């Protein structure tokens, strides 16, 4: 076991005491010594999730590109946050971060692939091809690269939870958001494949599909967003779903109902209803905003 001195954190040795999982009840209890890896922890939902776990006493690996925001989080919760300023498109950097976190804190109990980008795209514009590639690389491949370093280790340990943040936008193809919708549909299918692959291994895979949440991502949406949640409330509900080890959840539940309706809507009716839906604005994806 690595001592708290070696970890340089001044944290208790309970950090390495193993996951607190009760398979009979399927409930995961975050407590002191709980370890969570979160991508996109510099803002929005990822930051709110990190804060909720940190308030419960967890040790958190906070991953995103904007170092200063990660450092601000670390300053808010001294001794509990390991910051990794990196781009989740960089598999080697993620592997290095995973190695470092495991050597300092131990194998994480929960890994949340939350980082994502959203931008309007239209296939008719050649300049949007780069935006398509970026959205797919971050929202889909970034999720794969986030989980990759942990899967075999968790399988060997016989426990661990991998959480992917997908979206209701992945249920049907939304006009003007083709890249985003396609990326979230891919994420939903990918997470299902992974869940089946890890069936009976002790490793849980959880798909969370948020509706609308008040974050920078939705700040300039030029349309009404039904049942939009405050970011802290969304994070609270997601932490609860993760604790319950729910394999799949739409948050809030009202968007789950809308999503279920959307899925069964016949194609001709869906096309007619959504052909006039307002589009997400097209713009160049920003590098670290």
Ligand X SMILES: NC(=O)c1ccc[n+]([C@@H]2O[C@H](COP(=O)([O-])OP(=O)(O)OC[C@H]3O[C@@H](n4cnc5c(N)ncnc54)[C@H](OP(=O)(O)O)[C@@H]3O)[C@@H](O)[C@H]2O)c1
> Of 53, 84, 125, 180, which one is the catalytic site residue?
180
Provide the Cα torsion 185, 283, 255, 164; round to 10°: 50
Residues that bind ligand X (CB under 6 A): 39-40, 42-46, 64-66, 87-89, 114-118, 138, 165, 167, 210, 212-213, 215-218, 288-289
Q: Which is nearer to ligand X, 27 or 277 (CB)?
A: 277
Provide the Cα torsion 62, 36, 160, 237; round to 10°: -110
What is the closest distance, in whole angstroms, from the C-beta atom of residue 89 to ligand X in the complex?
Answer: 5
The two tokens of residue 229 are 């949640």
Q: Which is nearer to ligand X, 28 or 168 (CB)?
A: 168
Give every CB contact of residue 108 below 8 A, 6+ residues apart in sequence: 35, 36, 37, 61, 101, 102, 150, 160
212 is catalytic: no
Q: Which is nearer to ligand X, 16 or 121 (CB)?
A: 121
What is the closest distance, in whole angstroms, from the C-beta atom of residue 52 to ligand X in the complex?
Answer: 14
What is the closest distance, in whole angstroms, from the C-beta atom of residue 269 to ligand X in the complex?
Answer: 24
Give every CB contact of residue 68 below 8 A, 6+ residues apart in sequence: none
What is the closest distance, in whole angstroms, from the C-beta atom of residue 255 to ligand X in the complex?
Answer: 9
Q: Which is nearer to ligand X, 40 or 252 (CB)?
A: 40
Beginning with the edge strand found earlier in the chain, give each strand of the sheet holding 203-210 in spatial order: 81-85, 59-64, 35-39, 110-113, 160-165, 203-210, 248-251
Residue numbers annotated as active site: 180
């Amino acid at each position: 076991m690595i001592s708290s001195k070696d970890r340089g954190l001044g944290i208790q040795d309970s950090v390495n005491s193993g996951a607190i999982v009760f398979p009979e009840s399927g409930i995961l209890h975050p407590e002191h010594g709980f370890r969570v890896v979160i991508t996109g922890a510099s803002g929005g939902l990822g930051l709110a999730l990190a804060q909720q776990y940190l308030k419960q006493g967890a040790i958190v690996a906070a991953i995103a590109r904007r170092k200063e925001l990660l450092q601000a989080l670390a300053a808010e919760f001294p001794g509990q946050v390991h910051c990794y300023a990196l781009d989740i498109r960089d598999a080697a950097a993620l592997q290095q971060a995973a190695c470092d976190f495991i050597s300092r804190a131990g194998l994480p109990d929960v890994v949340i692939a939350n980082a994502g980008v959203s931008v309007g795209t239209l296939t008719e514009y050649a300049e949007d091809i780069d935006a398509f590639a970026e959205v797919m690389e971050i929202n889909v491949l970034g999720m794969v690269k986030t989980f990759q370093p942990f899967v075999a280790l968790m399988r060997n340990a016989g426990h661990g939870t991998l959480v992917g943040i997908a979206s209701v936008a992945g249920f049907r193809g939304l006009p003007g958001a083709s890249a985003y919708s396609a990326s979230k549909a891919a994420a939903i299918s990918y997470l299902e494949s992974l869940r089946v692959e890890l069936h009976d291994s002790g490793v849980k895979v959880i798909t969370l599909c948020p509706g609308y949440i008040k974050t920078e991502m939705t700040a300039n949406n030029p349309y009404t967003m039904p049942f939009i949640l405050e970011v802290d409330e969304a994070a609270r509900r997601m932490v609860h779903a993760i604790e319950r080890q729910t394999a799949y959840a739409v948050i809030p539940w009202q968007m789950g109902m809308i999503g279920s309706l959307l899925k069964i809507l016949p194609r001709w009716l869906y096309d007619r209803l959504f052909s006039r839906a307002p589009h997400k604005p097209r713009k160049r994806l920003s590098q670290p905003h």
